Amino acid sequence: MISIYDLAKLTGVSATTVSNVLNGRGRFSEKTRKLVLDAAAEHGYVTNLAARGLHSGISHTVGIITTDVSNEYFSSIVLEIERLMRLSGYTSFICNTLYDSRQLEEYIRELRRHNCDGIFIVGGSGPKDIASNSTLPHVFIDFASSARSENSVSIGTDLEKATYDQVDTLARHGCNRIMLLLLDALRAFRPEHPIYEGYRAGLEAHGLEFDPDLEIIGPHLKKSRVESRELVLGALDRGIEFDGIVATGDRQALGAVEALQERGLIPGKDVLVIGLDNSVYSQLSAPRISTVERNTDEMARLGAVAMLDLVAGREPDSRRIVVPYRVIERETTLGKADR
């Protein structure tokens, strides 16, 4: 690899001047600038970012850790963060934990060892103090626990209110036996969980009694669509009566729809179904699935802005950002209203 010292010999200027031109600092003439840059381009000079990082403390790299990169909801956030950070001059290392909290902690340690300037954590769950022992900037997006540190920002949807609105949508269409369908690989679901609280509050608002038999929670040992289909089929085989399903993801909702169809029931008429995320699964299924749009592009944009502020030592506009959502009704909730 050609070095700045080689460029200095080729151009007849000092190594300090070459360094100043390449880094855009100091004083030099336009003629010198063009001479150095032309020589660098001609001879294939590549900045040694690792060396620069050791000198400046800035590596221009970030880590992006997500629970499941195959999940369209998470992958859309990750890809948009990567794009926005690349436009700002950052290279991203993308890590996939597969819902393993131990792997999450290991990735964080590895990214710190690689001198990343900051870490995004997209989805999943972990201890509240996961970032407290580091001054490294952390941006949490749709992270289940309320992790905070002096150098972090949390971004996400108000899941309690979103779940409430899912229940409300079904109840307003006449459902009075509403199932909660949830996969919990992280074992994070507790009575105080926002989804649980939103579900219970939605039932209460419509005078509906909570029935623990309608709380269907799977361990997420299989693909979401497959496991959800099996859970709903199991509920039907046990004789559990329900006329609505609140699913905590569109792939889960699709599995529920397939289970209903397998048993000769009509989604949107016999049983209403609503998912979460407005993914391609909800848009292209037959029937199309009602869902909640959570605005992944805005989450990613706000996350990138927050990270750039934290890396630059600026105070972010907010340490906790709630991104608006909207309910989108399609065939799986509109059919019963017309009966």
Of 44-48, 81-85, 324-328, 335-339, least confident by mean pLDDT is: 335-339
Q: How many CB atoms lie within 10 A of CB 176?
A: 14
| 150 phi/psi in degrees, rounded to 5 | -65, -15
d(CA 173, CA 162): 17
Of 23-27, 128-132, 178-182, 332-336, least confident by mean pLDDT is: 128-132
**Predicted local distance difference test score (pLDDT) of residue 127:** 67
Higher-pLDDT residue of 329, 23:
329
d(CA 307, CA 120): 8
Mean pLDDT on 221-232:
95
DSSP-derived 3-state class of residue 175: coil
**Predicted local distance difference test score (pLDDT) of residue 339:** 40
User: How far from 55 is each of 42, 182, 187, CA to CA, in Å?
Assistant: 26, 49, 43
Nearest of 228, 167, 157 to residue 197 by alpha carbon: 167
**Predicted local distance difference test score (pLDDT) of residue 147:** 60
Residues 6+ apart with CB under 8 A from 160: 194, 195, 197, 198, 201
**Predicted local distance difference test score (pLDDT) of residue 338:** 44
Higher-pLDDT residue of 320, 339:
320
Of 75-89, 154-168, 174-188, least confident by mean pLDDT is: 174-188
Q: What is the DSSP letter of 64?
A: E
Q: What is the mean pLDDT of the chain?
A: 89
Mean pLDDT on 99-118:
88
d(CA 18, CA 54): 19
Instruction: Let me know: does 281 contact 309? Beta carbons within 8 Å.
Output: no
How is residue 45 written in tokens?
Answer: 């000079």
What is the helix (H) or strand (E) element at residue 57, kind and residue range?
none
Q: How many CB atoms lie within 10 A of CB 14?
A: 12
Higher-pLDDT residue of 92, 338:
92
d(CA 256, CA 301): 32
Tell me: pLDDT of 199 over 70.
yes
User: How far from 294 is each of 77, 156, 321, CA to CA, in Å?
Assistant: 11, 9, 13
Nearest of 129, 121, 110 to residue 78 by alpha carbon: 121
How is residue 253 written in tokens?
Answer: 């909702």
pTM above 0.85, yes or no: no
Q: Residue type for 152, please? A: S
Mean pLDDT on 64-79:
92
Give the pairing of strands 91-96 and 118-122. Answer: unpaired
DSSP-derived 3-state class of residue 24: coil
DSSP per-residue string spanning 70-121? TSHHHHHHHHHHHHHHHHTT-EEEEEE-TT-HHHHHHHHHHHHHTT-SEEEE
Tell me: pLDDT of 158 over 60.
yes
d(CA 162, CA 138): 25
Residues pairing with 322 in the sheet: 156
Tell me: pLDDT of 227 over 50.
yes
**Predicted local distance difference test score (pLDDT) of residue 43:** 81
